[in-house]
Homo-oligomer: A and B are copies of this chain.
Amino acid sequence: MTSVPVTTNGSGGRSGGSRWCPTPEQVMLLEGMYRGGLKTPTATQIQQITSRLSIYGKIQGKNVFYWFQNHKARDRQKLRKKLMALHQQHRLYPTLDHPFLPLHPIVGVEDVSTCKPMFNSWKVDLPSDQTCKLMCECPHMTMMQMDHHGSTPYCTRVPPKTLQLFPLTTTYLKEDDQDQGHDQPTSSKS
């Protein structure tokens, strides 16, 4: 292949000549279209887009075509990855320069996926939505079910099972510690 005399690229005169290198404007515009709802442009649309974007740099229809294909695919891929991470939930990463986050893995937890949604319960004072929203006031108790026969080798920091987690693990707590996150009813918002 490549019998095509593609002197492509350019795009601001960047280096290389083998593949399209979109300019920021082009990327911006493409993303805008994508976000605007255009996921799989028709040939006509591709054409128009190409024409439009050629103002900012060299571009071909196939670039646009590929861009949308890739963008959509990567969107899905990203989401899938997230979902996976949700179920595996043990992404420990090696620390780098500082021992910042030994962050020992939680061993006995398998159903951590249930805690992610719990974060929504923080904003439980929503006006009038039909949806759940307020599942439980005590967000994180369900998450640390663990224990049982989880050996928890070095899980010293995480409380064994009695979920003190958020409020109580602080070194000092005063009576109004709850007030911080409890609710600030918009304080006379506009």
Contacts and interface: CB of A to CB of B under 8 A. Distances in A.
Looking at A61, A119, A167, A188, the one whose CB has the most chain B CB atoms below 10 A away is A61
Contacts of A136: 1-2, 4
**How many copies of this chain sit in the oligomeric assembly?**
2
A171 to B, nearest CB: 6
A50 to B, nearest CB: 7
A50 B169 contact: yes
A172 B42 contact: no
B100 A180 contact: no
Given A38-B167, A87-B23, A62 B139 contact: yes
19 contacts: A4-B137, A25-B90, A25-B96, A29-B99, A33-B168, A36-B95, A43-B119, A44-B115, A44-B143, A46-B119, A47-B140, A51-B158, A52-B157, A54-B169, A57-B171, A58-B172, A62-B122, A65-B122, A66-B135
Interface of A: 1-4, 6, 8, 15-20, 23-25, 28-29, 31-33, 35-38, 42-52, 54-62, 65-66, 69, 83-87, 89-93, 95-101, 103-106, 109, 112-113, 115-119, 122-123, 133, 135-137, 139-140, 142-144, 157-159, 163, 165-174, 176-177, 179-181, 184, 187-190
